[in-house]
Structure formats: C-alpha cells, structure tokens
Structure 1
Amino acid sequence: MSEEQSVIDNLADLESFLLNVESGGFGLKGVAGIGMATNNADGSRFVAVFDDNQKLLLARMITENVFQTGQDMVRNGVGRKH
C-alpha cells in the first residue's frame, strides 16, 4: 500500500476523507464500499475503498485511536449536518 497522503489522525479528517469519497472528490469509479482493516504484515490500521469485486481502489493509513473511535462513522456513513 503506497502512502500518498499523511496518516488520518483525527475524526474530522476521517469525516473529510469519507465525504470526499462519497462526493466523487477522488475521481474513483465503481465505489461499492468503505471499510477499516489491519495490514497483516505490520499491524498498521487503514481505511479502504473497494469496488464491487472487492478490489482496493484507495487506502489511507489511520491511527489506532481513529480506528477505534471512527468505526461507526465508516459503518454508517457521514451525513451533512443541517
């Protein structure tokens, strides 16, 4: 996994990342899902964007704190606050 961006280290940055994915801000085609995972090689955490075939389209490293506290945000999505 290449690291093109800095590590997401707070929930505001995670929310911004998720909104960018949802709005097409990264130019990704065929986005089917977003999830959090652990790298088997080194135990690092990341948030990943997948297509219908579960092919990885984009990934960003996240801190352990964001992994623990941001799971509901990834699972349920983020909505614009009114």
Structure 2
Amino acid sequence: MIDDKDEISTLEDLESFLTLVESGGMGLENVAGVALATNNSNGRPFVAVLDDNHQLLLGRWVTQEVFENGKELVRIGPKKRH
C-alpha cells in the first residue's frame, strides 16, 4: 500500500518518517527494513517499509530529489534523538 496523499518532499520529512517507523509509531508489525525503490509501472520513486519476507507493508511516494539524496539516510537510519 502506497499512500498517495503524503509525498515526502524533503530529507527532514524522510528522517521524520523513518524515525516514526523505527519507533513503532506507525503500528506496523514485523517490520524488517526500509528501502528506496521505484514503481515498476511508472518509475515513480517511493520509500518502502518491508516485512521479514520482503513484502511491502507501507510505502510513501518521495520526490526525485529525496530519492537521489536520501539513500544514505535510509541505509544508516535516522539520527538518534536524545
């Protein structure tokens, strides 16, 4: 499921989304990872929350800029807040 209404358009929004997923705030179960990907039918980029079977639990569209510049943030995860 990809949420059409909330496109992530800044790296700060991406970090907030990742923090929310990591903290369990999305109410998702069996979260195993997060990845940036592109839709096969239209090439549109999105961030994917995946379960332990690599199945899509939740997706959010991202801008091309966030897709290109957010790869490291997705790979290492959001900064820990103290």
Compute the TM-score of the two structures, normalised by the length of structure 2: 0.92
**Once the 2 structures are TM-superposed, how far is the Cα of residue 35 of structure 1 from its aligned partner?**
0.1
Deviating 4+ runs (over 3 angstroms): none
1:7 match: secondary structure = strand
1:1-82 aligned within 5 A = 1-81=1-81
Contact kept, 8 Å, 2:2 with 2:58, in 1: the verdict is no
Unmatched tracts of structure 1, length 5 or more: none
Distance 1:48 1:2, change over 3 A: closer
> Does the residue aligned with 1:5 lie in a helix, a strand or coil?
strand
The alpha-carbon distance between structure 1 residues 20 and 81, as it changes in their structure 2 partners (threshold 3 A), is closer
Distance 1:54 1:71 in 2: 18
Q: Give the alignment's Cα RMSD to 1 decimal.
A: 1.3
More strand by share: 2
TM-score normalised over the length of structure 1: 0.92
Tell me the number of residue pairs that the alignment of Structure 1 and Structure 2 aligns: 82
Unaligned runs of 5+ in 2: none
Deviations along 1:62-81, one digit per CA (max 9) or x if unpaired, are 00000001000001111225
